[in-house]
Structure 1
Amino acid sequence: MAPEFLSPEDAVKIIKDDDLLVIEGAGGGLLEAGALIAALAQRYKATQTPKNLTLVHVSGIGDNHELGLNQLALPGLLKRAIGGHWGMAPKMCAFAANEEVEAFNLPQGVLSQLMREIAGGRLGLVTHVGLRTFIDPRVEGGKLNQKAKESEVNLVELININGQERLFYPVFSPNVAFIKGSTADEKGNISFEKEPAYLEALSVAQATKNKGGKVIVQVQRVAQAKSIDPHYVKIPGNLVDIIVVDPGQWQTVDGQYNPGLSGEIRIPISSIPPLELSERKIIARRAAMEVTPGLINIGMGMPDGIANVAAEEGFYDRITFCIEQGIYGGVPAGGVIFGTTYNPEVFIDAPYQFDFFDGGGLDIACLGMAQVDHKGNVNVSKIGKRIIGTGGFVNISQNAKKVVFCGTFMGGGLKVNVNDGSLQIINEGKYQKFVNDVDQITFSGEYAVFSGQQVLYVTERAVFQLTAQGVELIEIAPGIDMHRDILDKLTFNPQISSNLKTMDKCIFKEEPMGLHAD
């Protein structure tokens, strides 16, 4: 049966009170069905229906301002929200912090793989991912606010299989799914030739269809039946119920279409600008020194500067960037369109990417850090009442062979001066990032020690490593006083290496370092 072609306004009328709605997409507009999200928000404002929805989103969806899930932060529209990442939608984060919705956070990879489990009719996902973190039911169970804690809903269970601890994530039943593609033919076959990733779009469509739900796909254009090259079709027409055509849809919030993100063309790497010499570049450079040929994942925020360093130093073609959205090769984009890649080489479905990550396939991961404590625990997901979410962080940090956490030593207003190989603190940050106990455990130092992971914490003025005794100081930047600039700023006493070193002076100079030069 051919799908219906409807306007966004008519398409969202199929959503009923208490439905479970899955919205596919990722930060910066990636695969985001923007016309459908806006139509749902407008319908609720006008009619106060549908009410009490459960919203599931695998990744963060938004532009850090107004778009994406920000539009759905409306009292009464949502009863519960289950997200892999929240921070791209600050209005939704505030909505949850103010107890307007039951707010849950599960690892992005777990939700991605869970879509495949639902599609396959299985009971749930069994995995080690999340153990000893705030996802673990012995800690917080992924519950982000009091409303979630008071609900009877539990999204994760601790189980034991052959003497080994595992987490079990039960499946749920989607009623409606929003997905975005590039082209639909008249039979409903959906291609993704203009998109910068596949994410888990196919699994979401299969899961929703097999649970008796409705799949709505937003596309830019319509083609004659059977005219799309079958190699380009990502979602078969028999999985699609409704198609919405939006000729003006954007590839990302950065622009209507960038062929360098979809792989249509390869853009010159010279167009990726070098970073100015600041604390951000210092951290990116020092982290890049840990990178060897192999597969590397870089996180959002401070670590994404490593891609700029790789381009400037000319070694990007000797490593393979590998990001959780299902992309291999190229140079990851930063900022609001993080999750896309310039000059991608391979697109695969995100659930399979997370399979590889969870199995230990990554050689190194360079990730952000908002807080670090004396045990080596890292928090990136919730600071006080401010909700951010974990994204792919738990899957990646828990399973990469080597993890390099990247961030400034102090937060809020830090200003530094770099002068010919030396670092000076001009204006100290307002708050501590190295604390006695993190607000939320997104990465467990205890689990990392148990697993035998190599873990570093790189800042602009010092480098630490994780040991069985906790955090150990191993390097200090030239020009930095250990007591005044480091130890006196800590609320705990780190181990100090008997082989304490000075960070390489080339990190603190204007010219390229010659990193990984032949």
Structure 2
Amino acid sequence: MAQAIDAADVAALIQDGAQVISSGSGGGLVEPDGVFQAIEQAFLEGGHPRDLTYVHALGMGDRKTRGTNRFAHQGMVRRVIGGHWIWSPEMLRLAEENEIEAYCFPSGAISLLFREIGARRPGLITHVGLGTFADPELGGGKCNARTHEDLVEKVSFDGRDYLRYKPFGVDVGIIRGTYADADGNVSCVEEPADLDNAAVAMAARNSGGIVIAQVRERVASGSLRPREVTVTGNLVDYVLVVPDQQQTYRGGYDLSLAGLADAPQDPIAGESDTLRRIVARRAADELFEGAVINFGFGMSAGVAEIIARNGTSDRYWVTIEQGIHGGELMMGDLFGIAARPMAIVPSTQQFDLYSGGGLDITFLGMAEMDAEGNVNVSQLGGQMTGPGGFIDISQGARKVVFCGRFDAKGTQTSVEDGKLLVRQHGQYPKLIDRVASVTFSGPEALARGQEVIYVTERATFRLAQDGVEIIEIAPGIDLERDVLAAMEFTPIVRNPALMRSDIFDH
């Protein structure tokens, strides 16, 4: 039976040098911040636990104090393996200054590695990450000069290459739910997602470690319905009750986010940024009825807003990597959550869907693109950000639509009479000779037979066998002056068409 503990007891359960894994995602989603806070407080007051290895699949934090930020103190961690880093600027600083060993892997690969560790299998063997910065031939996910150990290797079966993400021991697994009963069963019934809670718990318990569960409330044995149990009590050692636990950083509990209640539908504001609106409108042209689709964070999420405003959500099967199917996607820092979802499954199951080719089309962001069709979203301005589920999603979808601006900083454009006019080019081109970090591999996509489209406000491109081809330009744009001369590589130019003029209507 799981033992009830107070916050003051948490840190004593964790030894110096322990390997700690946890569930959680952006916006405070299923984030066990009460446990994190207790560990942080003990370290700041007494210097222990220290020299931890901390592994998380999806980014956590508020860019200030919560989530991963709780571990971002010199000496507290020696190694961090994460799928997304931008929610903790201080942890990024520790990585950039070589104060810690820093690794970045695809979020789905990390979650599924937890599952494989729990099953005592020889790591995660997958195609996810081939040809990207996670590939040993392109760095193996190492993020700074202090990071040397190879945690991923390339293997071959039946003449095909795969990556093997190596297993490791887990001393502590930290999870979160809404309720835990007297037997230790944990339910996420009022949370917006299950994420990889079950995989985290299994990995820790079957490695000989302990599992600490944070919940809002402890309830009597038998009061949870069997299908509401997310993690069974035989896997849980300790339960910390945090009565004021928040469902998300927005505060309180909104049961519509768990699919348990209706809520007034907020009006969906149109995208105020002209160029983002243009890109989203053009990208939405790639939709087709009945498609299983996914949206990424950032500019590509504008396509989801278009679908919602048009009232056409029922024409598509919408998914996001946190395990959500259907519903009304939240935007901004709460992206990854949906109001009134039709289904919530573990993120491990969702990543299996993506890895196996279950997506018809995905819309993803694009910070940089190069002559091979490679895309970078994981290292911007020399700073590591991490891909989140980008690699898992983009390598499994049959069709990938990237959404991004043509250039950056200082760009001045206007829309007049259905035409796009460039008044001043940006200082930084985004269509460049070679991306700073390969988050999506064009050559690998061609080998997989994927259809790949790149949408910017000035032009649309596609990945062809002989290179990147420009297939459309915006009305009002001069092909040579506004596109070709402003790129660092020369695309294939055959007979580009004009983008629809109504895309440029206000």
Q: Name the TM-score class by shorter chain.
A: over 0.9
SS of match in other structure, 1:235: coil
Distance in 2 (alpha carbons) for counterparts of 1:17 and 1:426: 58
Deviation at 1:416, TM superposition (A): 3.5
What's the counterpart of residue 24 of structure 1? Answer: 23
SS of match in other structure, 1:424: strand
Distance in 2 (alpha carbons) for counterparts of 1:97 and 1:497: 44
Query: Letter of the aligned partner of 2:336 in structure 1?
Result: G
Work out whether residues 281 and 303 of structure 2, in 8 Å CA contact, stay in contact via their aligned partners in 1.
Answer: yes
Work out whether residues 296 and 365 of structure 2, in 8 Å CA contact, stay in contact via their aligned partners in 1.
Answer: yes
Work out whether residues 304 and 333 of structure 1, in 8 Å CA contact, stay in contact via their aligned partners in 2.
Answer: no
SS of match in other structure, 1:147: coil
What's the counterpart of residue 196 of structure 1? Answer: 192
Query: Letter of the aligned partner of 2:187 in structure 1?
Result: S
What's the counterpart of residue 10 of structure 2? Answer: 11
Q: TM-score, with normalisation over the residues of structure 1?
A: 0.95
- Residues 125, 37 of structure 1: alpha-carbon distance in 2 compared, 3 angstrom cutoff: same
**Which stretch shows the higher mean deviation, 416-425 or 95-104?**
416-425
Kindly provide the CA deviation profile for residues 244-296 of structure 1, in whole angstroms up to 9, marking residues without a partner as x. 11111111112222222111123455533332361111111111110112110
Q: RMSD of aligned C-alpha atoms?
A: 1.5
1:263 matched to 2:259? The reply is yes
Work out whether residues 173 and 203 of structure 2, in 8 Å CA contact, stay in contact via their aligned partners in 1.
Answer: no
Deviation at 1:384, TM superposition (A): 4.5
Work out whether residues 10 and 39 of structure 2, in 8 Å CA contact, stay in contact via their aligned partners in 1.
Answer: no
What's the counterpart of residue 254 of structure 1? Answer: 250
The aligned runs of 1:385-404 (5 Å cut-off) are: 385-404=382-401
What's the counterpart of residue 498 of structure 2? Answer: 502
Q: TM-score, with normalisation over the residues of structure 2?
A: 0.97
Query: Letter of the aligned partner of 1:280 in structure 2?
Result: R
Kindly provide the CA deviation profile for residues 422-448 of structure 1, in whole angstroms up to 9, marking residues without a partner as x. 223355433111111111111100111
1:242 matched to 2:238? The reply is yes
Query: Letter of the aligned partner of 1:456 in structure 2?
Result: I
SS of match in other structure, 2:138: coil
What's the counterpart of residue 81 of structure 2? Answer: 82
Work out whether residues 269 and 311 of structure 1, in 8 Å CA contact, stay in contact via their aligned partners in 2.
Answer: no
What's the counterpart of residue 514 of structure 1? Answer: none
What's the counterpart of residue 289 of structure 1? Answer: 285
Query: Letter of the aligned partner of 1:429 in structure 2?
Result: G
- Residues 250, 416 of structure 1: alpha-carbon distance in 2 compared, 3 angstrom cutoff: farther
Distance in 2 (alpha carbons) for counterparts of 1:168 and 1:277: 42
Query: Letter of the aligned partner of 1:93 in structure 2?
Result: L
Distance in 1 (alpha carbons) for counterparts of 2:262 and 2:293: 21
Query: Letter of the aligned partner of 1:387 in structure 2?
Result: M
Kindly provide the CA deviation profile for residues 399-431 of structure 1, in whole angstroms up to 9, marking residues without a partner as x. 100000001111234453333422233554331
SS of match in other structure, 1:309: helix
Work out whether residues 278 and 416 of structure 1, in 8 Å CA contact, stay in contact via their aligned partners in 2.
Answer: no
**Which stretch shows the higher mean deviation, 133-142 or 251-260?**
251-260
The aligned runs of 1:165-176 (5 Å cut-off) are: 165-176=161-172
Distance in 2 (alpha carbons) for counterparts of 1:417 and 1:43: 55
What's the counterpart of residue 417 of structure 1? Answer: 414
What's the counterpart of residue 209 of structure 1? Answer: 205
1:111 matched to 2:110? The reply is yes
What's the counterpart of residue 516 of structure 1? Answer: none
Distance in 2 (alpha carbons) for counterparts of 1:142 and 1:264: 39
Deviation at 1:301, TM superposition (A): 0.8
1:186 matched to 2:182? The reply is yes
Distance in 2 (alpha carbons) for counterparts of 1:237 and 1:133: 39
Runs of 4+ in 1 over 4 A off after TM superposition: none
Work out whether residues 11 and 49 of structure 2, in 8 Å CA contact, stay in contact via their aligned partners in 1.
Answer: no
The aligned runs of 1:370-449 (5 Å cut-off) are: 370-426=367-423, 428-449=425-446
Among 296, 300, 306, the alignment partner of 1:299 is: 296
What's the counterpart of residue 513 of structure 1? Answer: none
Work out whether residues 379 and 441 of structure 1, in 8 Å CA contact, stay in contact via their aligned partners in 2.
Answer: yes
What's the counterpart of residue 73 of structure 1? Answer: 72
Query: Letter of the aligned partner of 2:113 in structure 1?
Result: L
SS of match in other structure, 1:247: coil
Work out whether residues 324 and 354 of structure 1, in 8 Å CA contact, stay in contact via their aligned partners in 2.
Answer: yes
Distance in 1 (alpha carbons) for counterparts of 2:467 and 2:478: 22
Query: Letter of the aligned partner of 2:115 in structure 1?
Result: R
SS of match in other structure, 1:160: strand
Query: Letter of the aligned partner of 2:306 in structure 1?
Result: V
What's the counterpart of residue 98 of structure 2? Answer: 99
Deviation at 1:394, TM superposition (A): 0.9
The aligned runs of 1:221-240 (5 Å cut-off) are: 221-240=217-236
What's the counterpart of residue 483 of structure 1? Answer: 480
Work out whether residues 330 and 343 of structure 1, in 8 Å CA contact, stay in contact via their aligned partners in 2.
Answer: yes
Kindly provide the CA deviation profile for residues 209-234 of structure 1, in whole angstroms up to 9, marking residues without a partner as x. 11111111111112112111122111
- Residues 179, 156 of structure 1: alpha-carbon distance in 2 compared, 3 angstrom cutoff: same
Query: Letter of the aligned partner of 2:205 in structure 1?
Result: K
Work out whether residues 409 and 427 of structure 2, in 8 Å CA contact, stay in contact via their aligned partners in 1.
Answer: yes
Work out whether residues 478 and 503 of structure 1, in 8 Å CA contact, stay in contact via their aligned partners in 2.
Answer: yes
SS of match in other structure, 1:276: coil
Query: Letter of the aligned partner of 2:57 in structure 1?
Result: V
What's the counterpart of residue 466 of structure 2? Answer: 469
Kindly provide the CA deviation profile for residues 363-399 of structure 1, in whole angstroms up to 9, marking residues without a partner as x. 0010011111111100111125301011111111111
What's the counterpart of residue 337 of structure 2? Answer: 340
Kindly provide the CA deviation profile for residues 2-53 of structure 1, in whole angstroms up to 9, marking residues without a partner as x. 2221222311221111100002101111110111112211211111111211
SS of match in other structure, 1:118: helix
What's the counterpart of residue 158 of structure 1? Answer: 154
What's the counterpart of residue 145 of structure 2? Answer: 146
Kindly provide the CA deviation profile for residues 54-78 of structure 1, in whole angstroms up to 9, marking residues without a partner as x. 1100111112333211232111111
Work out whether residues 57 and 110 of structure 2, in 8 Å CA contact, stay in contact via their aligned partners in 1.
Answer: yes
1:310 matched to 2:328? The reply is no
Deviation at 1:452, TM superposition (A): 1.3
Distance in 2 (alpha carbons) for counterparts of 1:446 and 1:81: 30
The aligned runs of 1:53-68 (5 Å cut-off) are: 53-68=52-67
SS of match in other structure, 1:404: strand
Query: Letter of the aligned partner of 1:239 in structure 2?
Result: L
What's the counterpart of residue 35 of structure 1? Answer: 34
Work out whether residues 3 and 237 of structure 1, in 8 Å CA contact, stay in contact via their aligned partners in 2.
Answer: yes
What's the counterpart of residue 45 of structure 1? Answer: 44
Distance in 1 (alpha carbons) for counterparts of 2:245 and 2:428: 41
**Which stretch shows the higher mean deviation, 65-74 or 397-406?**
65-74
Gaps of 5+ in 1: 511-518
Distance in 2 (alpha carbons) for counterparts of 1:420 and 1:267: 40
What's the counterpart of residue 123 of structure 2? Answer: 124
Identity over aligned pairs, percent: 43
Work out whether residues 199 and 349 of structure 1, in 8 Å CA contact, stay in contact via their aligned partners in 2.
Answer: yes
Deviation at 1:173, TM superposition (A): 1.4
SS of match in other structure, 2:226: coil
**Which stretch shows the higher mean deviation, 266-275 or 310-319?**
266-275
Distance in 2 (alpha carbons) for counterparts of 1:6 and 1:32: 18
